[in-house]
């Protein structure tokens, strides 16, 4: 299956990867936009802080969403795979309008939620219209293929990144977070070089990609999103590269989008903020 083969579902909810360190107090534009998508004051939001090692993470987001005026915000601290069988918490997920996955360690998400009723419920509910957002580690986990960890640097190298299965809400994009702040262009390029079927989405901090059911990505936040489109890739040396070797990639397209900018993952067309406003 290629990125373009992913079946479009007009009933699907938004998928919202956030680059981490989103503004939470002065002008929480990303969280506010997510709440509006979920129904505003009528919204029921479930928070999954599994990736975090801090006990207060889930409670903090409950307070943040309550301050934004949602009808209900519930903390679901799935710590073990056994927790993922709890009927009371699964009921909250099934009734939620939106789910928010916090930051931390994305492997904690994949090893705790992968193959459980929670993972299946999240996919089923998103397909039926529930919106799902994730920040930092939560953002990395949303797609079918997940960057588990990797090295910093701008140039791709053969052993620069380790991949793992993600939640599987989409296979159209491959997400990396804290992008500019942690110099992660090289590892995103390396991940795409393994199999250039997807689109790379590098998210700066306090920046989100609101991916619609029609697979149009819109930028919200104060930073930028780096789009790496390998669909026209004409040459890659990944198959012959040895450990630590740099990787040659020819004919990769790159876009830098800021707030209001858009990218259609099916047509591969990028739109500047001014153009996007004129087309509305």
Catalytic site includes residue 145: no
∠ CA 224-227-230, nearest 5°, is 165
CA–CA separation, 259 vs 222, rounded Å?
7
* Element spanning 145, H or E: strand 145-150
The one catalytic residue in 131, 145, 178, 255 is 178
Catalytic site includes residue 178: yes
CA–CA separation, 151 vs 127, rounded Å?
34
The one catalytic residue in 33, 144, 205, 218 is 205
CA–CA separation, 34 vs 5, rounded Å?
27
The one catalytic residue in 136, 144, 145, 218 is 136
φ, ψ dihedrals at 8, nearest 5°: -70, 135
CB 56 within 8 A of CB 90: no
- Which SS3 state, helix, strand or coil, does residue 157 take? strand
CB atoms within 10 A of CB 87: 8
Please state the separation of Cα 150 from the chain's center in Å: 17
Catalytic site includes residue 244: no
The residues assigned a catalytic role are: 136, 178, 205
């Amino acid at each position: 299956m290629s990125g373009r083969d992913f079946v479009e579902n007009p009933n699907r909810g938004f998928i919202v990867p956030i680059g981490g360190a989103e503004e939470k107090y002065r002008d929480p534009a990303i969280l506010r936009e997510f709440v509006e998508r979920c129904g505003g004051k009528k919204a029921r939001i479930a928070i999954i802080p599994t990736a975090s090692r801090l006990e207060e993470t889930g409670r903090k987001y409950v307070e943040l969403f309550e301050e934004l005026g949602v009808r209900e915000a519930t903390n679901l601290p799935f710590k073990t795979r056994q927790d993922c069988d709890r009927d009371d918490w699964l009921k909250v997920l099934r009734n939620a309008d939106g789910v928010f996955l916090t930051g931390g360690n994305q492997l904690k998400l994949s090893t705790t939620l992968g193959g459980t009723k929670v993972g299946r419920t999240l996919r089923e509910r998103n397909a039926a219209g529930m919106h799902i957002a994730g920040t930092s580690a939560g953002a990395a986990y949303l797609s079918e293929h997940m960057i588990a960890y990797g090295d910093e640097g701008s140039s791709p190298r053969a052993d620069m990144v380790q991949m793992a299965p993600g939640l599987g809400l989409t296979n159209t994009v491959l997400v990396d977070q804290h992008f500019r702040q942690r110099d992660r262009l090289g590892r995103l390029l390396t991940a795409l070089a393994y199999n250039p079927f997807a689109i790379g989405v590098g998210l700066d901090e306090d920046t989100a990609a609101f991916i619609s059911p029609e697979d149009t990505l819109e930028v919200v936040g104060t930073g930028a999103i780096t789009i790496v489109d390998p669909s026209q890739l004409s040459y890659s040396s990944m198959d012959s590269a040895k450990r630590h070797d740099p990787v040659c990639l020819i004919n990769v397209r790159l876009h830098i989008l800021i707030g209001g900018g858009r990218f259609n993952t099916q047509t591969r067309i990028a739109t500047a903020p001014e153009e996007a406003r004129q087309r509305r």
